[in-house]
Amino acid sequence: MKMFVASATLLCSFLFWEVAGVRALQVAPAGGEAMSSGASARWQRVLLPPATTPMAAQCAVVDADLYAHAAPGLRDVRLLQDGQELPYAMDVSFDTRVGDAAPPPADDRALYEPVQTIRLIPQPSAGVAGSQMREVPNTYFNEALLSAHVPVERVRLVPAPKGVATVELHAAARMNLEQSEELRATLTPNTPAIPFTVGANLQEPADILVRVVDKGGAPQAVVLEMRRREICYQPRSMSPVHLLVGDATAQPPAYDYALHFQPTAHPLMAAMGPMTVNPAYRDAAAATPMLRSSSSVRWAVMLVIVIGSLAVTAFAVVELTRK
């Protein structure tokens, strides 16, 4: 009889856990609410307003480090001020002569920001083992690792060549060599940069190899660039504005502010502080491991308990009958 009571108690405990788990999953905050509280973002940067007009509409330039820590396309970027989500708009620089949809012209007048600077070194020649290493005349090269998610839309030679220079660039995804692009271009003093889009790093880091042949000068670096992007917003108060990123499950936000935003030629500029760990971040998966087990597993365990309880009960009844 004691075994029957123990089995029934165990079954009731499991049923209570099952109901409580379902209830907890039902009342768990949605992804949007978690992001608004900042708990689902791993990283944060404080936006520093203009000193003279801290309450005016302002913009902050997006850099490569923000892309490297954010989800693809910056879909997880959120602004938080006074514990509430602050709407924003994204402004992208483009050449007004062709618009933002057409390919950029050779003399693109859009603004660009540096993504990565690859310092060039003389390329050694393939000599005989044991012989003195020599350099290939007028030829420079180097390798670099490009972070995932960071856009590259133009390649620039620094300083501009004095004559004609040939630039070769190969980009390949680190874990998928078939995902790659190659550039071979001729640059001149009047065109020291050329539009080029890298897609190898859309999902993972990419290995970059550059090679420059310049007979008229001594190039120092190849600079990977992206179009200038600005996050523009209207502060609600004098409190700090926190930019939050690092939530792979976040969906792109939809703000009325972005729909009605009118960019200006010379906006007031805010500065982005360094990337730091978000102290409010909470790993939801680690916080409730028991409640995240699948429903089929939970019901299978309950079925085993029910069958075991029935078997124990039947055994107890048989024993009582024999007595």
Pairing of strands 58-61, 269-272: parallel
Count of domains forming the chain: 3
Residues 221, 129 share a domain: yes
Residues 64, 16 share a domain: no
How confident is the model over 15-30, as a mean pLDDT? 39
Q: Map the chain to HEC letters.
A: CHHHHHHHHHHHHHHHHHHHHHHHHHHCCCHHHHHHHCCCCCEEEEEECCCCCCCCCEEEECCHHHHHHCCHHHCCCEEEECCEEECEEEEECCCCCCCCCCCCCCCCCCCEEEEEEEECEEEECCCCCCCCCCEEEEEEEEEEEECCCCCCCEEEEECCCCCCEEEEEEEEECCEEEEEEEEEEEECCCCCEEECCCCCCCCCCEEEEEEEEECCCCCCEEEEEEECEEEEECCCCCCCEEEEECCCCCCCCCCHHHHCCCCCCCCCEEEECCCEECCCCCCHHHHCCCCCCCHHHHHHHHHHHHHHHHHHHHHHHHHHHHC
Residue 100 lies in a domain: no
The domain of 305 spans 2-28+288-322
Which CATH number goes with the domain that contains 222?
2.60.120
Residues 6, 40 share a domain: no
Residues 233, 316 share a domain: no
Residues 161, 12 share a domain: no
- Domain end: 227, 249, 271, which one? 227
Residue 99 lies in a domain: no
- Domain end: 198, 227, 256, which one? 227
Interval 50-80: pLDDT, tens: 999 999 999 999 999 999 999 999 999 999 9
Percent with pLDDT over 70 in the chain: 74
How confident is the model over 186-206, as a mean pLDDT? 95
Residue 89 has pLDDT above 70, yes or no: yes
Residue 243 lies in a domain: yes
Residue 248 lies in a domain: yes
CA distance 71 to 88: 17
Residues 299, 236 share a domain: no
The model carries a pTM of 0.75
Residue 102 lies in a domain: no
Residues 118, 223 share a domain: yes
CA distance 315 to 43: 59
In this predicted structure, what is the pLDDT of residue 307? 65
Residues 255, 165 share a domain: no
Tell me the average pLDDT of the chain. 83
Residue 130 has pLDDT above 80, yes or no: no
Residues 314, 299 share a domain: yes
Residues 54, 147 share a domain: no
Residue 188 lies in a domain: yes
Residue 32 has pLDDT above 60, yes or no: no
Residue 40 lies in a domain: yes
- Domain end: 227, 247, 264, which one? 227
Angle separating helix axes 295-322 and 2-27, nearest 10 degrees: 160
Higher pLDDT, 101 or 130: 101
Residues 143, 85 share a domain: no
Residues 209, 239 share a domain: no
- Sheet of strand 193-195, all strands in order from the earlier edge strand to the far edge: 112-119, 221-227, 154-158, 193-195
Residue 52 lies in a domain: yes
